[in-house]
């Protein structure tokens, strides 16, 4: 599935704004371009276990690391003789990196390293440019949400980030000329839960990125799958993904300028969602399951299954089997080491009191808005229900949704619930654990109805973020919808962008273009306080139901997406008494029926701050357009401020959609189904009487000559 962590990714390679340089040095005219073409990958080493690429030794040997249980052994491949020699005893990664010169002593330039968590650093061979893989937003005990490629010139102090890169950069390797950088970027995760990476070439002079080969390579061993030989003639890379460890060598040709093998731009399509299974016949109502069964594997940094695929066993302290793990270079919570807590694998565990408590904080951090976390819990519950309904075999990787034992217990400051059978009933939970319990507590899920009596859980895909609009998925309810609040601050296309945008959900809950306070403050014109608004915005034509099947959402619904108060302003204007101002609403049909001109957007008079009516007349704007579920349109609404004698007065305005029903007249969406009321939109406007007396202090300053 798609998740905020790593999913099927739509990768778009844009321009990397770097610098012009001579021999890697900015500021002078660039020399004639030197480009590289890569030959087909040829397998040089293969074994049933994982193989890591350390780097090249001065005499032309490629140093590898063979993973054998908890230990590693060094191996040496000689291209000229095609011989692979394996060292007799264990070798640590620190020793291996030192042997190939990748453990350089600290440089004064390292002072320029950002506070963002750092996964990998490599210097250009001439020692001037530092390439770094950063992990912004990374937290202990959670998969890495995204990585970035940063280049830093130690002479000029200029820093550049490749903003158009794939969401996950896993490996980098400099060419000997200090100009070109080979890059492995994750293009998606397959149905088997394994990461798929592609090989790119980035020119540090022009900022252009190219797809170097069409093959899909392995992506699970971060920082250990790519090495460029010192003579520039060979590139070692983890081979196209298989169940066994493999290393390939690509012959490198310097061809003077980019060839047809290096297209100017690349778009990698996301994995298409599987076709929706036929709905069952209407016999007995759908009953949600109480437990879920899944396999639990050791995981990579990004949450994919680690190759070779290794099921967790009792006593295992590997990342993925427990967040209280003891592995270096992985986001373990290191306050204590606790092994995998289950006696079997696969496991069958309660959905509410175990599975969701670990899934929700992994998929969406507790620093996001509480209302967005309620929406996340509903989407995660629906996804689990649908997997069980479809009979799919799932695991704990981000190919489905991330699950790692003890994540709930590890939320800082780590606390183990006094009631292990029902953790949320414990009286010793910390603040973040209580946030997760509150998110899971409502217990509702997203349902797709073929008829009001025949419904099943929705395949509720969710994604990290989507710039301005989500994309169509493989279900009728996974339609592309406008998401104007995701238009700045920290917004970006992260993940496959189908279904709910996790960061977008938090923006709507905050009424802010920044997804959480740590990202900044950029207020929006609309805020949603009900998680149902978030879910019916992102999932088209669905209903929300609770465990007994009771429907929690009305058929007719709407969502205000944006209010243009005046020339693009998101803030209500300061009106004068009697002044008329035309405002523009962007409204979305979040209901289950197509509107055919029988609806209106209505403003119900003006009220003072105490709620007393000041103007009782309504302003009704009929919408004549046909608007299908999920679609949005712009509607202009005139506002005329009340007459007043006070210098300044604040008023409350209420807006709702209305439906024209035969024999009844106009009925508000909010009250049409009283047992499941729908939110209206409220705002405040200030009216100021001008001119009026103002007292301006006079400041006298003594002037001395």
Query: What DSSP line would sit under 132-164, residue for residue?
Result: EEE-TT--TTS-----EEEEEETTT--EEE-TT
The CATH number assigned to the domain with range 570-688 reads: 2.60.40.10
Among residues 639, 620, 625, 523, the alpha carbon closest in space to that of 579 is found at 639
CA 64 to chain centre: 33
Domain locations along the chain = 11-52+93-104+114-264, 444-553, 570-688
C-alpha separations of 393 from 292, 294, 477, 659 in Å: 10, 7, 23, 45
Supply the pLDDT for residue 359: 97
* Confidence label for 478 from pLDDT (cuts 50, 70 and 90): very high
Contacts of 215 (CB under 8 A, 6+ apart): 41, 198, 199, 240
Beta strands in 225-368 (DSSP E): 226-228, 234-238, 245-254, 266-268, 291-295, 347-350
User: Of residues 556 and 96, which shows the higher confidence score?
Assistant: 556
* Percentage of the chain exceeding pLDDT 90: 45
pLDDT for residue 212 is more than 80: yes
Mean pLDDT, all residues of the chain: 82
pLDDT at residue 296 tops 80: yes
pTM here? Answer: 0.74
Joined together, the tokens standing for residue 234 give 């060979």
- Model pLDDT, residue 123: 87
Tell me what pLDDT residue 170 has. 85
Q: 3-state DSSP call for residue 508? A: helix
In this prediction, residue 682 carries a pLDDT of: 93
Lowest mean pLDDT among 25-39, 240-254, 356-370, 492-506: 25-39
Higher pLDDT pick, 16 / 544: 544
* pLDDT tens figures, 500-545: 999 999 999 999 999 999 899 999 999 999 999 999 999 999 999 9
Query: So what's the pLDDT on residue 207?
Result: 65
Task: Flag whether pLDDT at 281 surpasses 70.
Answer: no
Q: Which residue from 555, 596, 381, 556 is spatially nearest to 452, judged by alpha carbons? A: 555
Least confident of 57-66, 120-129, 249-258, 320-329: 249-258
- pLDDT value for 537: 98
Per-residue model confidence (pLDDT) at position 591: 95
Structure confidence at residue 244 (pLDDT): 60
570, pLDDT greater than 90: no
> Which tens digit of pLDDT belongs to each residue from 104-162?
544 444 444 455 667 788 888 888 888 888 888 777 777 777 788 888 888 887 888 77
Biggest CA-to-CA distance, the chain:
98
Least confident of 19-23, 172-176, 386-390, 395-399: 19-23
Chain-centroid distance of CA 643 in Å reads 49
Q: What is the 3-state secondary structure (H, E, C) of 367-392?
A: CCCHHHHHHHHHHHHHHHHHHHHHCC
What confidence tier does 69 reach under pLDDT thresholds 50, 70, 90? low
């Amino acid at each position: 599935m798609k998740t905020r962590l790593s999913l099927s990714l739509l990768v778009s390679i844009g321009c990397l704004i770097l610098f012009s340089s001579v021999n890697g040095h900015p500021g002078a005219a660039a020399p004639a371009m030197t480009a590289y073409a890569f030959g087909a990958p040829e397998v040089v080493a293969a074994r049933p276990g994982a193989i890591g690429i350390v780097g090249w030794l001065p005499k032309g040997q490629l140093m590898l690391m063979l993973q054998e249980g908890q230990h590693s052994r060094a191996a040496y491949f000689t291209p000229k003789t095609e011989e692979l020699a394996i060292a007799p005893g264990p070798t640590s990664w620190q020793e291996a990196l030192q042997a190939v010169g990748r453990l350089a002593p600290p440089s004064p330039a390292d002072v320029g390293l950002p506070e963002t968590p750092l996964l990998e650093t490599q210097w250009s061979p001439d020692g001037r440019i530092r390439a770094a893989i950063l992990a912004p937003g990374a937290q202990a005990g959670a998969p890495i949400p995204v990585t970035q490629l940063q280049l830093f010139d130690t002479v000029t102090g200029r820093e550049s980030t490749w903003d158009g890169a794939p969401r996950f950069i896993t490996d980098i390797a400099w060419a000997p000329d200090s100009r070109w950088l080979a890059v492995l970027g994750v293009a998606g995760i397959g149905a088997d839960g394994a990461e798929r990476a592609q090989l790119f070439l980035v020119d540090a002079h022009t900022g252009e990125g190219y797809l170097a080969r069409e093959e899909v390579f392995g992506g699970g061993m971060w920082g250990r799958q790519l090495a460029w030989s010192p003579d520039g003639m060979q590139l070692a890379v983890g081979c196209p993904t298989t169940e066994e460890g493999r290393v390939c060598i690509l012959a490198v040709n310097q061809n003077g300028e980019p060839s047809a093998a290096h297209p100017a731009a690349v778009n990698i399509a996301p994995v298409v969602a599987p076709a929706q299974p036929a709905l069952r016949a209407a016999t007995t109502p759908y009953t949600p399951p109480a437990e879920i069964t899944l396999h639990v594997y050791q995981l990579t940094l990004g949450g994919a299954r680690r190759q070779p695929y290794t099921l967790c066993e009792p006593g295992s302290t590997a990342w993925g089997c427990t967040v209280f793990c003891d592995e270096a270079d992985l986001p373990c919570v290191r306050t204590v080491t606790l092994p995998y807590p289950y006696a079997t694998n696969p496991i069958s565990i309660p959905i509410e009191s175990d599975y969701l408590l670990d899934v929700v904080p992994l998929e969406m951090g507790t620093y996001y808005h509480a209302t967005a976390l309620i929406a996340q819990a509903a989407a995660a519950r629906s996804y689990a229900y649908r997997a069980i309904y479809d009979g799919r075999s799932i695991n704990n990787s981000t190919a489905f949704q991330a699950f790692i034992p003890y994540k709930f217990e590890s939320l800082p400051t780590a606390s183990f619930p006094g009631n292990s059978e029902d953790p949320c009933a414990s009286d010793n939970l910390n603040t973040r654990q209580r946030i997760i319990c509150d998110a899971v507590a409502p217990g509702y899920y997203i349902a797709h109805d073929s008829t009001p009596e025949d419904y099943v859980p929705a395949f509720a895909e969710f994604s990290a973020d989507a710039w301005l609009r989500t994309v169509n998925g493989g279900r009728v309810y996974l339609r592309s919808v406008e998401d104007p609040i995701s238009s700045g601050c920290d917004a970006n296309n992260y993940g496959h962008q189908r279904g709910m945008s996790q960061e977008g959900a938090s923006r709507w809950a905050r009424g802010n273009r920044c997804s959480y306070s740590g990202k900044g403050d950029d207020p929006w014109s609309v805020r949603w306080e009900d998680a149902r608004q978030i879910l019916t915005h992102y999932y088209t034509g669905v209903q929300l139901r609770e465990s007994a099947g009771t429907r929690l959402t009305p058929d007719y619904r709407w969502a205000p997406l944006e209010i243009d108060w005046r020339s693009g302003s998101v803030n209500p204007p300061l009106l004068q008494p009697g002044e008329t101002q035309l405002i523009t609403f962007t409204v979305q049909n979040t209901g289950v029926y197509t509107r055919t001109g029988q609806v209106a957007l209505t403003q119900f008079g003006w009220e003072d701050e105490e709620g007393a009516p000041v103007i009782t007349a309504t302003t009704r704007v009929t919408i004549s357009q046909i608007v299908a579920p999920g679609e949005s349109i712009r509607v202009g609404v005139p506002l005329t401020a009340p007459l007043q004698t006070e210098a300044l007065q604040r008023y409350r305005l209420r807006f709702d959609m209305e439906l024209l029903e035969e024999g009844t007249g106009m009925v508000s969406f909010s009250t049409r189904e009283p047992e499941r009321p729908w939110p209206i939109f409220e705002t405040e406007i200030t009216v100021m009487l001008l001119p009026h007396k103002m007292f301006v202090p006079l400041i006298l300053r003594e002037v001395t000559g």
